[in-house]
Structure 1
Amino acid sequence: MSVKYGLLALLERGPMYGYQLRAAFQESTGGSLNIGQVYTTLSRLERDEFVRALEENESGQRPYEITGAGRADLKTWFSTPISRSDRPRDELAIKLALAVTTPGVDVRAIMQAQRTSTMRALQEYTRLKSLSDTDLAWQLVLESMIFQSEAEIRWLDHCEATLAKHTPKPVENRQEKTVELR
């Protein structure tokens, strides 16, 4: 998810300062966010006039609020579908593509290790989902992670089957038969 639009969406709820934004982002999405990234993004948003800094409060914290331009940009983001080409590269797909063409790499071991890791993650996401007091935003994020994990396991199964079809069978050692001519 874009940090920029995440922060704008959170500021649509009302003015917040950096640490509040970080906590709200993590609570809503389950994703971790470095506080430095929050303030760097806020600086860019302020430069682009999507947010404005308010006066420091009595604790010395400077809250930010979304501007009209920020609301318009956020509205456009919400109404524009995400294109597959806009998403980050899939590191696992790249890893497997390179593994099948790199001598000495055990592709099956890579797939098995990934499958094991993904199964553990899937179990954890399912456990978290079973905790009924999670809010709707976190529930949707968890369900997305569950579906993505399930899809990754199916894709790994497919890759393993495809690899089995394309792996050459071992050649039997045959000794040439010599024919004696008399």
Structure 2
Amino acid sequence: MSVKYGILTLLFQEKHHGYELKIELDTLLGIKGKINPGQIYTTLDRLIRDELVTSPGMDNQERKMFELTSKGKVELEKWLLEPVPYHTTKEDFFFKWSCARRIHFEQEKKMIEQQKAMIIKEVMELTKLKTEWLIQGDENRYFLITGTLLHLEADLNWMNLVENRMQ
């Protein structure tokens, strides 16, 4: 989960002030009240420093507004297309996918295809290891790999379901 990319996603659609970003980010992540407001403002400062976000001024209630720059849009789209390594969690990809859907990302299908390709590659490598460990009689590693493969299979099934709904 990345506060940085969550903020970029929200600013992709429209300008926001800090508290709006906090509320919307909590909703996007599905973890109401977990994001510290200080974390939002610290991240915004870094995003401004990196020229991914700018502040066009205040709204009519004297709240500082933030908006996405073109460089920020490029950064967000680049991040959306990077597959999430399996050793993190499916929730990382789900967060990224939720961000893509929120902004109606035109390359959502490509994003899912790339993630699936990475998982399939991992499945092939782990299947080879599983066979080697079975031959060597290492049951502990065999069952560990088997469990990981079952998780990967479930992730692939979920992605296929999503992909089928997109068509």
After TM superposition, the score normalised by the length of structure 2 is 0.50
Give the CA deviation at 1:58.
2.3
**Greater than 3 Å deviation, 4+ residue runs:** none
SS in 1 for 2:54: strand
Aligned counterparts of 2:15 and 2:60: Cα–Cα separation in 1: 15
Aligned to 1:77: 79
Aligned to 2:47: 45
Q: Deviations over 1:57-113 (max 9, x none)?
A: 22110110000110000001111111135x38xxxxxxxxxxxxxxxxxxxxxxxxx
Give the CA deviation at 1:24.
0.5
Q: Deviations over 1:1-46 (max 9, x none)?
A: 1110010001011000110000001112212211000000000000
Aligned counterparts of 2:55 and 2:85: Cα–Cα separation in 1: 32
Aligned to 2:61: 59
Letter in 2 for 1:3: V
RMSD, aligned CA: 2.2
Asked whether 1:25 is paired with 2:25, we answer: yes
Asked whether 1:5 is paired with 2:5, we answer: yes
Q: Paired residue for 1:35, among 27, 34, 37?
A: 37
Structure with bigger RCO (C-alpha 8 Å, 6+ apart): 2
In structure 1, stretches of 5+ residues that fail to align are 89-136, 141-161, 163-182
How many positions carry a matched residue from both structures?
Answer: 91
More strand by share: 2
Matches within 5 A, 1:1-182: 1-31=1-31, 32-85=34-87, 87=88
Aligned counterparts of 1:54 and 1:23: Cα–Cα separation in 2: 21
Letter in 2 for 1:20: E
Q: Deviations over 1:113-172 (max 9, x none)?
A: xxxxxxxxxxxxxxxxxxxxxxxx6xx9xxxxxxxxxxxxxxxxxxxxx7xxxxxxxxxx
Aligned counterparts of 1:58 and 1:11: Cα–Cα separation in 2: 19
More helix by share: 2
